[in-house]
Amino acid sequence: MAKDLESPNRKKKRIHKPIKVFTDLLIRNLKPEAEMYQIREGRGFAIRVLPSGVKTWYYIYNIDGKRRQMNLGNYPDKSLEHAHDDYRKAVDLVKQGIDPQAPPPSPKVSAEPEPVTVAVLKKRYIKHITTHLVPMSVKHQDERLENHLIPELGNRPVTDIRRRDAIHLIESIAAEKRGAARNVLLAARAMFTYAVHRELVEYNPFSGVGVAVPQASPNSRERVLSDEELKTVVLPFLVAGDGNTLIKNALLLILFTAQRPGEVAGMHIDEIAENWWTIPWQRIKTETRSSMTRPPQDHRVYLTPFARSLVIPSEDFIFPKGRRATGPVATNTLSHHISYHDPPYLGLPRWTPHDLRRTAATKMSELGANDEIVDAILNHKKKGVIGTYNRNKYDKEKQKWLKKWSDHLEKMIDQISG
């Protein structure tokens, strides 16, 4: 019996038929039998017929003292003519001592490119952010990097910059101007994050510098805006008709709905039905972060008439990236609209879009909403048994308290316009 070349452990017999000259008629008329069989045309060109009726072309050859088989495709998807062409190409390779089944050789590595300096990185980064940030934000980042980073580090390769260099730079700026140090740190960290994503550097040397230089570190993340700050600064800025209306509407929607900036930024028209916004679980931070003990759940948010007015009609994302870019606006664009404003943070102590969500939650609690309702509005993930079995959606309570919170904010806005 002929040796089974496909697998030494295979128990089924393979029957070899006499060698024949292949024709389309011959191949078409080959019938399956109880056992797999194959026929050869000669010089390793063969076809195998399985009991299932599948017909497969093969090239059987020897190379480096080993006998190998190469699958050339199934008939009739691979015709006799095309199978024979592939067979001839494989034969030519074997004659040259090349295994036709060997992986292709790795491309030659080109000479090492010229190192990218910090000055070159800055130019690339500024060009990059012009595609998605407002001109004022781009201008501020460019000026801070050009005035503080480039004189110190501009001629050095980006791969040579270490955290000690970043600490020295930010510390020297903070000794004179703490606010400037914080702004330069934010811009430099963002620029080197871009460099990491572009695989120009292995790590971000400006990451964690705020811990080493407390003068430049952001304020506490427990920031809650006061009614006075909202009424005299934040709301007048956000409801004003000038500037980027889409960005301002997104920030207002965070404040009015108490939802996460990333979830607001990614709002899609398909998620809105009348006065309810349903955030799919795939976009919810707490539903996708890790393994879950319960099935993932969407989150429903009531949109008051004022909040609904912020949702400008669209066929796609409510807050698009803009210009010729596709997709929703980036969350950091919302942050930059505040931090790179002139003056930064509208002249208030540092605050972020997420602080608008925290402010909304705190103020609703002050208005009388209990913690369980506030957690339901915020979509905080419940822990333990209650997280598994308490499936109450609190729709009526959400509507009630989001309406009260909206009324509170709208009174402030009326006072501004009045």
Indicate the residue among 175, 195, 216 that finishes a domain: 216
State the pTM of this model.
0.50
Lowest-confidence region among 102-106, 288-292, 303-307? 288-292
pLDDT at 116: 92
Indicate the residue among 216, 239, 262 that finishes a domain: 216
Q: Does any domain span residue 404?
A: yes
Tracing tokens 């969407």 back to the chain, one arrives at: 298
Residues 309 and 192 in one domain: no
| Residue predicted with more confidence, 381 or 14 | 381
pLDDT at 13: 52
According to DSSP, residue 94 is labeled H
Distance CA 107, CA 95 (A): 23
Q: CB–CB of 51/35 below 8 Å?
A: yes
Residues 161 and 279 in one domain: no
Mean pLDDT to the nearest integer, 317-339: 86
Longest dimension (CA), the chain: 100
| Residue predicted with more confidence, 11 or 406 | 406
CA angle, corner 354, sides to 278 and 313, nearest 5? 40
Residues 90 and 128 in one domain: no
- What CATH number corresponds to the domain at position 373? 1.10.443.10
Average pLDDT, the chain: 85
| Residue 89, domain extent | 14-95
Residues 211 and 163 in one domain: yes
Mean pLDDT to the nearest integer, 23-47: 88
Distance CA 15, CA 37 (A): 4
- What CATH number corresponds to the domain at position 176? 1.10.150.130
Name the residue among 332, 284, 310, 317 with its Cα closest to residue 410: 310
Residues 72 and 155 in one domain: no
Q: Does any domain span residue 2?
A: no
Residues 169 and 309 in one domain: no
pLDDT at 1: 36
Q: How many CA atoms lie within 13 A of 87 on its CB side?
A: 23
| Residue predicted with more confidence, 306 or 209 | 306
Is the per-residue pLDDT at 290 higher than 60? no
pLDDT at 186: 86
Residues 188 and 232 in one domain: no
Cis peptide before 343 (omega within 30 of 0): yes
Is the per-residue pLDDT at 387 higher than 90? no
Q: Does any domain span residue 64?
A: yes
Percent of residues, the chain, with pLDDT higher than 70: 85
Residues 408 and 303 in one domain: yes
The SS3 call for residue 248 is: helix
Percent of residues, the chain, with pLDDT higher than 90: 47
Q: Does any domain span residue 9?
A: no
Q: Does any domain span residue 172?
A: yes
pLDDT at 2: 38
Residues 388 and 286 in one domain: yes
Confidence of residue 363 (pLDDT cuts 50, 70, 90): very high
Give the total residue count for the chain.
418
Confidence of residue 22 (pLDDT cuts 50, 70, 90): confident
pLDDT at 365: 92
pLDDT at 194: 92
Extract the tokens encoding 250: 């997104």
Mean pLDDT to the nearest integer, 136-143: 84
Q: Does any domain span residue 160?
A: yes
Is the per-residue pLDDT at 111 higher than 60? no
Distant-in-sequence, close-in-space partners of 338: CB < 8 Å, separation ≥ 6: 251, 344, 345, 346, 351, 352, 353
Look at the chain and report how many structural domains it folds into. Answer: 3
pLDDT at 5: 43
Q: Does any domain span residue 5?
A: no
Lowest-confidence region among 298-312, 314-328, 356-370? 314-328
Contacts 24+ apart (CB under 8 A), 323-326: 323/131, 323/132, 325/131, 325/132
| Residue predicted with more confidence, 361 or 416 | 361
Residues 266 and 328 in one domain: yes
Q: Does any domain span residue 363?
A: yes
Angle between helices 245-257 and 331-339 (to 10 degrees): 100
DSSP β-bridge partners for residue 66: 63
Tens digits of residue pLDDT in 268-279: 999 999 899 999
- What CATH number corresponds to the domain at position 56? 3.30.160.390
Is the per-residue pLDDT at 311 higher than 50? yes
Name the residue among 58, 53, 61, 24 with its Cα closest to residue 39: 58
| Helix ranges restricted to H, 15-66 | 24-28
Residues 265 and 407 in one domain: yes
Distance CA 129, CA 340 (A): 13
Residues 387 and 366 in one domain: yes
Distant-in-sequence, close-in-space partners of 320: CB < 8 Å, separation ≥ 6: 246, 314, 326, 327, 328, 329
| Residue predicted with more confidence, 261 or 3 | 261
Indicate the residue among 64, 95, 126 that finishes a domain: 95
